[in-house]
Structure 1
Amino acid sequence: MVVDLIVIGTAITLGPLHNSAFVLLLSSRRGVHKGLAFLLSWLANLVAVVACVLLLTGGTPPVHHSSPSSAALAAKLAIGVGLVVFGGYRSRQPPRPYRPPSWAGRVDNASLGTAAGLAWLLQPWALVGAGAATVVDADLSSVYTWLDLTGYCLLATLSLLVMELYTVWAPETSRARLDALRTWLEQHQDQLIITLSLLAGLWLTASSIYHLVT
């Protein structure tokens, strides 16, 4: 479970779409406040998904090869295959010229609620779903499991947390560097999406098959 959560959390935090949007929010008026609203909403979503899974399982992992265990692995396998297919399909398409999202021009006037809602909209739901299927195996009787789940949520939020703190601690220098980061993310968006989809998808597929047959 731990390695799967590390892979999923890393793929989530490196996603270019939400990171580009977050930099755009930080560079707007009241950017630090909007960024904090986005960050907290993003983290709350991850925690809510984990909490829902734990409520369903009661914090006790299902017996290996039981129906709930096999269903969770089948869901993770389906997500992994879907990511591989998506990454393969996207890699065969001609590069898409970057177009700013329709809301980009209105970000200065966006409310904190809008910033928080944007976090939910930009969540990579396939990866979040894979994380949920992995959390089915969590055993809350172990303190290490609590640490693993906490680490997963923080890892999936790490890029946002680093940028938010950087903006707070170094407001003068952070803007130019974060704008440069956003430009790079926009220029390499397709490559990043394809790479993350293929790597995460292949890992989830291989891991799920291994646990289904052993």
Structure 2
Amino acid sequence: MVLDLVLIGVAITLGPLHNTAFILLLSAPGGVRKGLAFILAWLACLVAVIAAVILLTGGNPPTRNSNPSTAALALKLALGLGMVVYGEGKRRRDPKPRPAPKWMARLDGVSLWFAAALGFLLQPWAMVAAGGATVVQAHLSSIGSYLALMGYVLLATSSLLAMELYATFRPETAHVRLAALRSWVDGHQDQAIVALSLVIGLWLVGKSIYGLVG
């Protein structure tokens, strides 16, 4: 479980779309407060998914080859296949970088509530769902499971937290550095999406098949 959560957490935090939107929020007037609203909504979504899974399992992982265990593996397999198909399809399309969506240009004047809504809408939900399917294996009688879940949430939020702290304590240099980071992300967005989708998708497919036939 731990390795799966680490890989999924890294894939979530490196997603280019929400990072680009977050940089634009930080660059807007009141950007630090808007960034905080985004992060709180982001964290709330991750925690809510974990809490929902734990409520379903009661904090006890289902026995191997039981219906709940098989359903969780089947969900991870379906998500993995979807990521592989999406990533490969995107790789085969025109590789030239595309401009950021037009709606991102209008983030300067958004409210705190809208910033929070973006924290919900821009979640990479396929990855989050894969994380939720992995949390099925969490055993809450073990301190290791608690630490793994906390680490997963923090890892999945680490890029946002790093930029938020940087903009808070180094506002003079943050604007320039974050603008340069956004330019780099814009130029490599499609490659990042393809790589993350294929790597995590293939991992989920392989682990799920092994669990189903093992």
TM-score (norm 1): 0.97
Moved over 4 A (4+): none
- Output the aligned Cα RMSD: 1.0
Partners of 2:83 and 2:198 within 8 A in 1? yes
| 2:95 counterpart residue number | 95
1:100 and 1:82 map into 2 onto residues whose CA distance is 24
Q: CA deviation at 1:213?
A: 1.7
Q: Secondary structure at the match of 1:183?
A: helix
Correspondence 1:20-169 to 2 at 5 A: 20-95=20-95, 97-169=97-169
**1:150 is aligned with what amino acid?**
M
Q: Secondary structure at the match of 2:102?
A: coil
Q: CA deviation at 1:96?
A: 5.2
Q: Could you give the per-residue CA deviations for residues 38-68 of structure 1, whole angstroms, max 9, x where no partner exists?
A: 0111011000000000001111100100000
Partners of 2:140 and 2:146 within 8 A in 1? yes
Q: Secondary structure at the match of 1:188?
A: helix
TM-score (norm 2): 0.97
1:175 and 1:109 map into 2 onto residues whose CA distance is 17
**2:115 is aligned with what amino acid?**
A
Partners of 2:24 and 2:108 within 8 A in 1? no
Q: Could you give the per-residue CA deviations for residues 69-123 of structure 1, whole angstroms, max 9, x where no partner exists?
A: 0000010011011111111111000135533333333322211000000111111
2:28 and 2:48 map into 1 onto residues whose CA distance is 28
Q: CA deviation at 1:180?
A: 0.5
- % identical equivalent positions: 61
Q: Secondary structure at the match of 1:103?
A: helix
1:34 and 1:179 map into 2 onto residues whose CA distance is 17
2:104 and 2:68 map into 1 onto residues whose CA distance is 43
**1:172 is aligned with what amino acid?**
E
Q: How many residues are matched?
A: 214
